[in-house]
Structure 1
Amino acid sequence: MTAASIAAAVRPSRARLFILALMTLATMLNYLDRAVIGVAAPSMSKELGLSAVVLGLVFSSFSWTYAAAQIPGGLVLDRLGTRLTYALSLGIWSLVTLLHAFAANLGMLLAFRFGLGVAEAPCYPCNSRILATWFPQSERARATSVYSVGQYFGLAFMTPLLFWIVAHWGWRALFLVVGGVGIAFGWGWYLLYRDPAQSLAINDGERALIAAGGGVDARPAATAFSWANVGRLLSKRQILGASIGQFASNSTLVFFITWFPTYLATERHMDWIKSGVFAVLPYIAASVGVLIGGAVSDWLIRRTGSANIGRKLPVVAGLLLTSTILLANYVDDNRLVILVMSIAFFGQGICNLGWTLISDVAPKEMIGLTGGVFNLCANLAGIVTPIVIGFVVAATGSFYGALAYIGAVALLGAGSYIFIVGDVHRVEL
């Protein structure tokens, strides 16, 4: 019997929904661990004597090793598989997060940021593999939107609590709490996660549904690494164009998880607690954007049968909305500023579909490496954006040029999806 006939004859189980819940929680912790420094920054910079330029360097330092470790992280994933790779990544990055609480100077802080970047590197390649192995193509955009909400949910609904912890117990307590929770969850992941072939919760109907929808083997024959393969991947317009687009999208995301609390406190003169309340709104908007983007993408594919329309059109629209962030330079009312920021971050949330597109186009034998290459290119934004903003703020005393930079990069990303990405289909090498 074919996979389609088995799926029709046997009612599929829904084990993939539990896997999606695990992935959502892991992604929430991933972004909470890297972003908590943004909440700690105003008080931490005073205690450690960090200027705007140095603070930008600290924000950027995570992405130096995070980007550099993407390809090795993808290779580790291809060798060890999702279960072990994700569990090790979770446990180690959470331990490093906890160690931030003991930073006594700039050198220690940079060392911990470097370690966090290395440890978190396999996360998104793992997510991409889970999408490709656990979900048929028609469900991947919605699955991406659900787990991507995790990266905003922790920031949106935890931000007031995080600012409250800073106000009452100091910035070091943030890292102790978040790191401790992550270490516990790393053990939970290893105990609970299984690939489809090993899962006892999945039935033949669900396996057939995934296979009929283009699901791939969780552990294909490993392809030996070579820089030639990296070059071959980047020579494909789908991968190169999506990587440029994700760089543009990540530039906005990096601003929100690093400089945004400082922007509210210094440029808009909101105290920490008030900043925490106001900061919730853009993250909620981004969460809504993620969910709407995934639902619209899958609906467009069902309606038109075209992955080009379903995957690319929402991302282009999201990047155009993101570019409106520069309008915050021209309004004085803080409520209007938050509205502009919310619209821009809503658009950035839609752009999480880039990971769905990569899961659709990655060569079957190089899903881990493709995810690593894609995330390497995307997270160059994490290196560039904080430093650019730090220098702009130090040189001009305002965020005017910083917001203009974010808006311009978003327009570059929209152009990449329009003119470079081309036809959306699984690449064969």
Structure 2
Amino acid sequence: MKIPHLRWWIVALIFGASVLNYIDRQTLSVLAPTIQKDLKLSNEDYASVLNLFLIAYTTASLLSGKVVDKLGVRVSLALFVGWWSVANILTGFARSVGSLGAFRFLLGLGEAGNWTAAPKAVADWFPARERGIAIGIYTLGATVGATIAPILIVGLATWHSWQAAFVVTGLAGLLWLIPWLWLYRRPEEHPRLTDAERTLILSDTSTETNPGNAVAGWGKWWQVFGRHEVWLLIFGRMLTDPVWYFFQFWFAKYLYDGRGLDQKQLTVTWVVYLAADIGVLGGGLLSGLLIKRKVAPAKSRLWVMLGCALLVPVAAAIPHLGSLWLVLAVGMIAVLAHMAWLINLSALVVDLVPKGSLGFTFGVVATGSSLGGMMMNKAVGGLVTHLSYDPAFHFMLLLHPLAWLLLWQLRPRPAA
């Protein structure tokens, strides 16, 4: 039996994996005050645990792309989701900073693969004009996961224990494997794909007017590292992704330490992640509309990113605001703009890189994200211990504008 609009069912399953990815990632940060007390962790211990996750995440970002290119999306994503789900279950059995760090390291090894397999699936299943919104949908899974995590995780911990929160959410990932393995195939070989949809997917040949789309110069892993486009994208993520990591890993702690909220009151952070939901959809839709108006795909992404780069710096005002609701409102603006930025930066990679090298290249670019996150965690851990959270917010004045100036070099230029 044929399934109409199958490509949207595919992206819906990847959306589900992304929800689980971020729930599992956020569980530690949501429960950080409780776990710190139970396991007797300092703020610097907590930062070290976060960085173990990111060290593994960086390593896996490099390696998982090659796994995706070699094994294909179906097998590799099943492998990644199964791995990180088991690691999340094991986190519930941590009894010290050492075991907690080890299990979060294992989590990072699995979680990075979601973000190298997903763009490869989008490149296989979607024409260029739909890629922005497709990437927006599966990235929406991340922000939906982050949105519901405070309520779900605090609820599970209140119902039973913080350990139960890790076990239950990990089991959900193992259940996800059943529909994924049943449904996913490549479009060329999928028996449930309609002829009309197969024609739409396989007839799309749109590319940028940019020499980076030539397959020559991308085929070997060392050639990827020689592309100036790749280095610009790496630095773009290294500069800007720390903003998102800060809101994931430290914002709840900031509200607890600096604004006097207790563990149950931290569920209020869901509104910031709701703004992220809007950002991922809005960012993809805006660049898609520009493409429909005949703006080149890469340039459309960059124009949307310029607007985002002007909005994210409002986060620097947060430590100077008296009202909690103003703090949350400004946080919402910054996170919304950052996620719209991230969607378009991710779409740039898909636009510019040949499909055969996409998984590995996306993983290489993602290392910029985790390297930036590790530097941020180390810096914030020290600042919180010895000074305050204020300088972390102040740095957000500069990061996105500087990154945009670098990435503007990726705009397509007329042939000489």
TM-score (norm 1): 0.89
Displacement of 1:34 in angstroms is 1.4
Deviations 1:20-62 (A, max 9, x none): 1111001111121112111111100111111111111111211
Please list, as runs of the form range in 1=range in 2, the aligned pairs for 1:1-20 lying within 5 A after superposition. Answer: 13-20=4-11
Q: Which residue of 2 aligns with 1:229?
A: 223
Asked whether 1:404 is paired with 2:398, we answer no
Matched, 1:82 2:65: no
Paired letter, 2:338: Q
Q: Structure 2 CA distance, aligned partners of 1:354 and 1:377?
A: 12
- Among 309, 322, 341, the residue aligned to 1:319: 309
In the aligned structure 2, how far is the partner of 1:173 from the partner of 1:225? 46
| 1:149 aligned residue (140, 146, 149) | 140
Kept in 1, the 8 Å contact 2:305–2:344? The answer is yes
Match of 1:158 in 2: 149
Within 1, Cα distance between the matches of 2:413 and 2:60? 27
Specify which of 189, 193, 207 is matched with residue 202 of structure 1: 193
Q: Is the 8 A contact 1:315 1:350 kept in 2?
A: yes
Deviation at 1:357, TM superposition (A): 1.2
Q: Once superposed, what is the RMSD of the aligned Cα atoms?
A: 2.2
Structure 1 contact 308–424 (Cα < 8 Å) conserved: no
Cross-structure match for 2:25: 34
Q: 2:211: which partner in 1?
A: none
Partner of 2:210: none
How far apart are 1:230 and its partner, in Å?
3.4
State the identity %: 29
Deviations along 1:334-381, whole A, 9 cap, x unmatched? 111111101000111102221111111112321111111111122212
Q: Distance in 2 between matches of 1:159 and 1:300?
A: 35
Alignment partners' CA distance in 2, 1:424 and 1:108: 52
CA deviation map 1:370-416 (0-9, x unaligned): 111111122212222212111111110x2101112233323332222
SS across alignment from 1:304: coil
- Give how far 1:225 is off: 8.3
Question: How far off its partner does 1:246 sit?
Answer: 2.3
How far did 1:316 drift?
Answer: 2.4
Q: Is the alpha carbon distance of 1:18 and 1:366 closer, same or farther for their aligned partners in structure 2, counting shifts above 3 Å?
A: same
Structure 1 residues 265 and 118, CA gap change in structure 2 (3 angstroms): same
Instruction: Indicate the larger mover: 69-78 or 136-145.
Output: 69-78
AA partner of residue 194 (structure 2) = N
Structure 1 pair 152/322, CA: closer, same or farther in 2 (3 Å)? same
SS of the residue corresponding to residue 280 of structure 1 reads: helix
Q: Distance in 2 between matches of 1:258 and 1:377?
A: 18
- Cα drift, residue 13 of structure 1: 4.3
Indicate conservation of the 8 Å contact 1:146/1:290, yes or no.
Answer: yes
Deviation digits for residues 180-236 of structure 1 (CA, Å, limit 9, x no counterpart): 1011112332222111122122123212212332389xxxx9x9985522322xx23
Q: Which piece of structure 1 moves more, 344-353 or 155-164?
A: 155-164
Amino acid at match of 1:341: G
CA distance in 1, matches of 2:82, 2:21: 11
1:175 and 2:172 correspond: no
> How far apart are residue 424 of structure 1 and its match?
8.5
Q: Is the 8 A contact 1:251 1:406 kept in 2?
A: no
CA distance in 2, matches of 1:50, 1:215: 52
Please give the alpha-carbon distance, in whole angstroms, between the structure 2 residues aligned to 1:120 and 1:94. Answer: 9
Listed one character per residue, the Cα deviations across residues 72-108 of structure 1 (whole Å, up to 9, x for unaligned) are: 1111111111100000110111000000000011111
The answer as to 2:337 corresponding to 1:339 is: no
Distance 1:143 1:409 in 2: 26
> Residue 114 of structure 1: CA displacement?
1.1
Q: Contact 1:138–1:213 (CA<8 Å) still a contact in 2?
A: no
Query: Per the alignment, do residues 208 and 163 of structure 1 end up closer, same or farther by CA in structure 2, a change over 3 Å counting?
Result: same
1:267 and 2:261 matched: no
2:412 counterpart residue number? 423
Query: What are the ranges of 5 or more consecutive residues in structure 1 without an aligned counterpart?
Result: 1-11
Please give the alpha-carbon distance, in whole angstroms, between the structure 1 residues aligned to 2:297 and 2:413.
6
Q: What one-letter code is carried by the residue in structure 1 that aligns with 2:160?
A: W
Question: CA, structure 1 residues 109+226, in 2 after alignment: closer, same or farther (shift >3 Å)?
Answer: farther
Whether the aligned pair in 1 keeps the contact of 2:61 and 2:366 (CA below 8 Å) is yes
For residue 185 of structure 2, give the secondary structure of its aligned residue in structure 1: coil
Q: Distance in 1 between matches of 2:46 and 2:161?
A: 18
Partners of 2:386 and 2:367 in 1: how far apart? 29
The answer on whether the counterparts of 2:26 and 2:149 sit within 8 Å (CA) in structure 1 is no
- Name the CA shift for 1:405/1:166 in 2 (closer, same or farther; >3 Å): farther
Task: Please say if residues 150 and 266 of structure 2, whose CA atoms lie closer than 8 Å, have aligned partners that are also in contact.
Answer: no
- 1:390 correspondence with 2:390: no
Query: Secondary structure, in 3 states, of the residue corresponding to 2:398?
Result: helix
Secondary structure of residue in 2 paired with 1:102:
coil
Q: Which amino acid aligns with 2:73?
A: T
Aligned to 1:53: 44
Q: Is the 8 A contact 1:320 1:414 kept in 2?
A: no
Provide Cα deviations, 1:309-353, integer angstroms capped at 9, x if missing partner: 311111222233122111102111111111110100011110222
Matches within 5 A, 1:122-133: 122-133=113-124
Structure 1 residue corresponding to 2:369, chosen from 371, 378, 382: 378
Tell me the amino acid that sits aligned with residue 413 of structure 1.
Answer: A
The within-5 A match list for 1:267-286 is: 267-276=258-267, 278-286=268-276
SS for the counterpart of 1:371 is helix
Aligned partners of 1:142 and 1:295 also within 8 Å:
yes
Change (3 A) 1:72 1:308: closer
Counterpart AA for 1:107: G
* Secondary structure of 1:379's aligned partner: helix
Q: Residue 309 of structure 2 contacts residue 400 of structure 2 at CA under 8 Å; is this kept in 1?
A: yes
Does the 8 Å CA contact 2:218/2:357 hold for their aligned counterparts?
Answer: no
| Residue of structure 2 equivalent to 1:67 | 58
